[in-house]
Structure 1
Amino acid sequence: MKVSFYTLDNRLRIRFSYQGTRYHFALGLDDNELGRLKAREISSQIEKDCLFDNFDSTLECYKFNLKPVEKKLRKSGKDYPFNPKRMPFTTNQVKSLLTALEDSHYHDFYHFSFLSGLRMSELIGLTFNRVGDTTITVDRALARSKTGNSCGKSRYFKETKNHQKREILITPKMREIISRQSGNGDQLIFRSPKGLPVNDRTLLSRVFYPLQNDLGITPLRCHYAIRHTVATKMLESGVSANHCAFWLGHSVEVFLSSYVYAQLPKEFSDLF
């Protein structure tokens, strides 16, 4: 049997037949790239459940409800994840960005960001003693000052955004990038040319935005678009939504509404 999805009034729906009964239901998702990724995942899950006689005829476990997220966003006044500045980059755009950065001091910083999906403050605060043989421990962030100052000297260590520790697998390219950096122990892996913590605001205005302008990338994306890009690429690569949410440390629930703790997969390939 084959499960398919289709569009009605720009909203995604699923339809299929199982044991002589026809089923169809609305996913509650817009017809866009992220919505289609989730639709494919749900379709695949239904096919597996039918194959192994685990099908839920009520369909409740397959329905994707974005309403709680939408209500939360409306209440907070935030437009994430629908902000165009946070749209995922395409694979070709990522390759163009990294190629253009080849001679830049920050090439490895950005490449690692696209490989890991770490929050900027987590990446800026990543130290050598958090790197193990096969995993990286993400248990803190080098945050901006309490007044919002992003200058390296003003930053301070604090817990991750969701106050929980997680581990991500080290891919071959991640390992290669780390090996090129000098330092050890509690020293920062990525630093400014002067050896200070990276100032992400300065980097955004002086490097990332101008680079996108030069490459004709529109709309201009902020650094957070890198995390959206990693999430999208992971899903396209077959990583489950649960693993994706765990890897990125909770924020994927905003657009997938499926944040749960999960075990790490045994293998993970480089994304870019």
Structure 2
Amino acid sequence: MPDSFTEQERDAVIEAFKNDKRLGMNFRHYAPIVEFWFLTGCRPSEAIGLKWEKVSDDCLIVTFDGSIQTVRGRQVWSDGSKNNKSRTIAVSSRVQELLQCIKPEIVNPSAYVFPSPKGLAINYPNFLDKVWHKVVDPIKPNTTPYNCRDTFITLQLVKSVPSAVIAKWCDTSTQMIDKNYADKLKLSQLRPMD
């Protein structure tokens, strides 16, 4: 069942990453990918595998056509999405600005948009255990980066974006959105029109 952050919790998580000051390895490095997860609704593995060649020069268009999965401790590239599709989306101005801020002056098209501190693909299980829980649990325990996707979908529904549009952005079905997100929202947040 989806478990989304509120907008306030989402913003608190993003700020916690941006302002992390722990000694040794602070986690500010991961703030861009966390913000990207929250603001695009992509699967965590899709952002981990995203390379600059899949981002338009003006950072307004992003193509998701694969992901990096961790299988038996090894990182494996998987073509297409979970649903074996490729999708190209226009991003919000906030995401465009985020991408422009982290885009290197000289872009290596095959470089990861959100690399690990060593320039490799982020190891998701390692990130989850050693980074995510340390930063996020004080704000909202028992979550994973996948809850960023839940948050994006939920907030778009609250803002009256049609589920068919959200489904295209997020590579899912309207039935999945209506069943798992909209029904829950109808009972808790949406109100009848006067």
Fold-level similarity (TM above 0.5)? yes
* Structure 1 position 128, deviation (Å): 0.9
Q: Distance in 2 between matches of 1:171 and 1:158?
A: 25
Q: How does 1:65-104 map to 2 (within 5 A)?
A: 81=1, 86-103=2-19, 104=28
Structure 1: gaps of 5 or more residues:
1-80, 259-272
How high is the TM-score relative to the length of structure 1? Answer: 0.57
Cα RMSD after superposing both structures: 2.0
- Equivalent residue in structure 1 for 2:120, among 193, 196, 210: 196
**Native 8 Å contact 1:88 1:226 kept in 2:** yes
AA aligned opposite 1:205:
D
1:254 equivalent in alignment to 2:176: yes
Question: Which residue of structure 2 aligns with residue 62 of structure 1?
Answer: none
Instruction: Report the CA distance shift for 1:186/1:163 in structure 2 as closer, same or farther (over 3 A).
Output: same
Question: Which residue of structure 2 aligns with residue 177 of structure 1?
Answer: 98
Question: Which residue of structure 2 aligns with residue 113 of structure 1?
Answer: 37
Q: Distance in 2 between matches of 1:140 and 1:110?
A: 19
Q: Secondary structure at the match of 1:105?
A: helix
Q: Distance in 1 between matches of 2:92 and 2:108?
A: 20
Question: Which residue of structure 2 aligns with residue 135 of structure 1?
Answer: 61
The structure whose Rg is larger is 1
Q: Secondary structure at the match of 2:83?
A: coil
Q: Distance in 1 between matches of 2:174 and 2:31?
A: 25
Q: Distance in 1 between matches of 2:46 and 2:154?
A: 20
AA aligned opposite 1:88:
S
Q: Distance in 1 between matches of 2:174 and 2:153?
A: 7
AA aligned opposite 1:140:
G
Q: How does 1:1-272 map to 2 (within 5 A)?
A: 81=1, 86-103=2-19, 104-132=28-56, 133=58, 134-145=60-71, 147=72, 149=73, 154-179=75-100, 180-182=102-104, 183-215=107-139, 217-218=140-141, 220-250=142-172, 253-257=175-179
AA aligned opposite 1:188:
Y
Q: What are the superposed Cα offsets for residues 151-188 of structure 1, whole Å, 9 maximum, x if unpaired? A: 5xx33242211111112112222122222233431211
**Native 8 Å contact 1:181 1:190 kept in 2:** no
**Native 8 Å contact 1:143 1:158 kept in 2:** no
- Name which of structure 1's ranges 162-171 and 239-248 shifts more when overlaid on structure 2: 162-171
**Native 8 Å contact 1:192 1:198 kept in 2:** yes
Q: Secondary structure at the match of 1:141?
A: strand
Identity over aligned pairs, percent: 26
How high is the TM-score relative to the length of structure 2? Answer: 0.78
Instruction: Report the CA distance shift for 1:142/1:168 in structure 2 as closer, same or farther (over 3 A).
Output: same
User: Which structure features the higher share of helix residues?
Assistant: 2
**Native 8 Å contact 2:167 2:177 kept in 1:** no
Instruction: Report the CA distance shift for 1:230/1:252 in structure 2 as closer, same or farther (over 3 A).
Output: farther
AA aligned opposite 1:139:
D
**Native 8 Å contact 2:67 2:78 kept in 1:** yes
Instruction: Report the CA distance shift for 1:251/1:197 in structure 2 as closer, same or farther (over 3 A).
Output: farther
Question: Which residue of structure 2 aligns with residue 34 of structure 1?
Answer: none
Q: What are the superposed Cα offsets for residues 40-99 of structure 1, whole Å, 9 maximum, x if unpaired? A: xxxxxxxxxxxxxxxxxxxxxxxxxxxxxxxxxxxxxxxxx2xxxx41000110111111
Alignment size in residue pairs: 167
Q: Distance in 2 between matches of 1:208 and 1:201?
A: 10
* Structure 1 position 251, deviation (Å): 5.7
